[in-house]
Amino acid sequence: MTHSHPEGPLLAPLTADEWGDDEYSAFGTLLGLPVDQVPRAGSGHAADPLKFDIIGLLAHHPKMARHFLSFNGWLLQRGELSVRLRELAILRIAHTRRSAFFWGEHTKVAADGGVPEEDIARLAEGNDSFVGADRLVLEATDELLTFGRAEASTWQRITDELGTHQAMELIFVVGTYTMLAMAFDTWGLAPPAGSASLPDHDATNRRETE
């Protein structure tokens, strides 16, 4: 089941007049820009922080956001794990944890990164139709979400297939996006307008019991 806040979100993104040097500095960490070059809130720029609800929420705690965005930016932009494998893992997290926001957001990210729509749709049906590295990553993600760790045999298969760096990054991707889903779903962040709807959780359950 998905959760919502009928009386509105518990925490809302910062408004234009709430942005100051500390908040711009935190966003600049993600953009790789000094504070004076970060687009201003309400400017209409492509990187206007008002266009990114995630940033507007994290910026409530700019010092924490600056450190977190430095790591998350590296993971997304300079990590060795492929976009396809990373997004399959994130979408599995969104589906398992019933995060409508992250399903909507990362369906678009995955599609923009070249993941076919039919592959995204199959995520709701379990792992049987996936092979190779795709299946390894999904099985490892399932184990991490269910047990808080991957089995030794799963770790060995992933490192054999992808190498130690990518196998390590997978654990940190799963941990990072599980944490983000907990935060944004607690605060009541709505999915982007017009984004894909979270598939029925029963699709996976039916597949696993057949």
Beta carbons of 72 and 103 less than 8 angstroms apart: no
Position 6 scores a pLDDT of 56
Same domain, residue pair 61 and 28: yes
Range 37-73 burial, b when 16+ CB lie within 10 A, else e: ebbebeeeeeeebbeebbbbbbbeebeebbebbeebe
Total number of domains in the chain: 2
Q: How far apart are CA 129 and CA 135, in angstroms?
A: 8
Is 129 a domain residue?
A: yes
Same-domain status, 161 and 200: yes
pLDDT of residue 203: 52
DSSP string for 45-113: -TT-GGG-HHHHHHTTSHHHHHHHHHHHHHHHHT-SS-HHHHHHHHHHHHHHTT-HHHHHHHHHHHHHT
Q: pLDDT of the chain along its 210 residues, tens only?
A: 455 565 678 999 999 999 999 999 999 999 999 999 999 999 999 999 999 999 999 999 999 999 999 999 999 999 999 999 999 999 999 999 999 999 999 999 999 999 999 999 999 999 999 999 999 999 999 999 999 999 999 999 999 999 999 999 999 999 999 999 999 999 999 988 888 999 987 555 444 444
For residue 176, what is the domain's CATH number? Answer: 1.20.1290.10
Grouping H, G, I as helix, E, B as strand and the rest as coil, residue 203 is helix
Range of the domain at 38: 16-77
Last residue of a domain, one of 56, 77, 98: 77
Query: What letter represents residue 145's amino acid?
Result: L
Tell me, yes or no, whether 3 lies in a domain.
no
Distance in angstroms (rounded) separating the CA atoms of residues 174 and 158: 14
